A and B are shown apart, each in its own frame.
Chain A
Amino acid sequence: MVMTRGRARVVAETVTDPELPMLTLADLGVLRDVAEEDGRVVVSITPTYTGCPAMDTMRDDLVHALRAEGYADVEVRTVLHPPWSTDWITEDGRRKLAEAGIAPPGAAPRPAEGPVPLTLGPTVRRVRCPRCGSAETEELSRFSATACKALRRCRACAEPFEHFKEI
């Protein structure tokens, strides 16, 4: 298969995430490869979370965007390995998240060998409030409206906000 960074890639890079429409799939690091050969396009994407219900919509959106640009033969493949990490969210993506009021993720935790020490007390992670910039924020729930976000509250401006959690 010939790997090129052709026009198909440019089109695929414009497709946005259905649940985080401020991000493209490329910003999110979900778009892994776009291969073009004799008019046929093979797009490889990787799921953020295994249960992510947006995967089917991403597939459809990619196929439609490419068809609209004249690519009749489009295949979308799933790539499971290596597993997606928030470290793959681009700098541009992080900026767009913050602008939308979602605190971008910090560095992903490194895979631990053997039993890891559990965080049994209140969470100490330092996350800045995307509205006022204060570091005085606290976690309300490690899970939020989608699997990939935690719910936090700023103690300075008292507003709740979402945090794209590290994975």
Chain B
Amino acid sequence: MVFDNAYEAITEENDSRWAFGTGFTDPLEGVDTSVPSGVDAGELEAYCLMLGDDALVFSHRLQEWCTNAPELEDEVAIANIALDLLGQARLLLARAGERGEDSYAFFRGEHEFRNVRLAELPHGDFGELIAALLVFSTWRLALLRRLTESRDPVLAAIAAKGVKEVTYHRDYAAQWTVRLGDGTDHSRERMAAGLATGWPYVDELFTPHEIEVSLAASGVAVNPAESRAEFDEVLAQVLRAATLDVPEVPGIPGVSGRTGRDGVHTESMGYLLAELQSVARADPEATW
């Protein structure tokens, strides 16, 4: 195909010559997204944003490791885990409502993000990354496995796909936890320090928000408190193999009891969103 100028080439109506097109198709294209009977659409939206924001924000933190991982193999592993979570985020934000994935991701303010605070914490070193990934993926896997029974068929299907992916993520984090914990004095110290850094945010993962309680009662959502025992069991198994102790550090409560699920975040969240959203906000009408 011949064009007179580059602008004409990139704006042609049929853009499929480009590797991935110049736009994104709704990831739920063709899926029946009607809201199940008796379910409040506003509550369903809020719940999808919780699980979607967890994945989106944690994926962003993992993407920061691109070009920074200790070895090429781990760089590729972390990028792939981030990609899986970005895919889960796209489906969940698309499920949240008519507003659309891009609008939710790029044009909400910090107080409107409902991710748990663990997802947004910066990773000072590889030990902190692995600790956060171990905790996050163990918790999320337990949650998604229960969500496969959701009365909402879309959430159940998203969860069933997610279970397969997050199983690999948890394995990756668990293997590194053992290698570092049962490794050299230095690696052991960094791994233990990484766990201690993230651990104050563990209780929040299992503290249900009122919307989770309400939707769990109608069979749509999962009450995260139900998976605490499973989480403790898996963490104990991994940390035993890593010859590490379960950290004993106090939790960091939210502001007047309000935490990530209520839109109350840590200081690092604003910086994260600035990077995540700045390009989209610089030219809100742009497509690419």
Contacts and interface: CB of A to CB of B under 8 A. Distances in A.
B29 A78 contact: yes
Given A50-B84, A120-B174, A77 B165 contact: no
Interface string A67-110: 00000000111111111110000000000000000000000010
B8 interface: no
A81 B157 contact: yes
Q: In terms of DSSP, what is the predominant structure of the interface of chain B?
A: helix
A56 B24 contact: yes
Interface in A148-163: 151
Contacts of A77: 29-31
Contact of A141 (B24, B74, B142, B157): B74
A44 B30 contact: yes
B16 to A, nearest CB: 4
Contacts of B81: 143
B189 interface: no
B196 interface: no
A141 B76 contact: yes
Interface string A47-58: 101111101110
A121 B242 CA distance: 11
Interface in A6-59: 44, 47, 49-53, 55-57, 59
B200 interface: no
A145 B80 CA distance: 9
Interface in A110-167: 111, 114-121, 140-147, 151, 165, 167
Interface of A: 44, 47, 49-53, 55-57, 59-61, 63-64, 75-85, 109, 111, 114-121, 140-147, 151, 165, 167
30 contacts: A49-B84, A49-B161, A49-B165, A50-B87, A50-B90, A53-B20, A55-B25, A55-B27, A57-B20, A76-B29, A76-B30, A79-B30, A80-B157, A80-B158, A82-B160, A83-B164, A111-B163, A114-B230, A115-B234, A116-B167, A117-B237, A118-B238, A119-B175, A120-B174, A143-B73, A143-B80, A143-B81, A146-B80, A147-B80, A165-B168
Given A57-B16, A80-B91, A120-B174, 5 more contacts: A44-B30, A60-B21, A76-B30, A120-B175, A143-B172
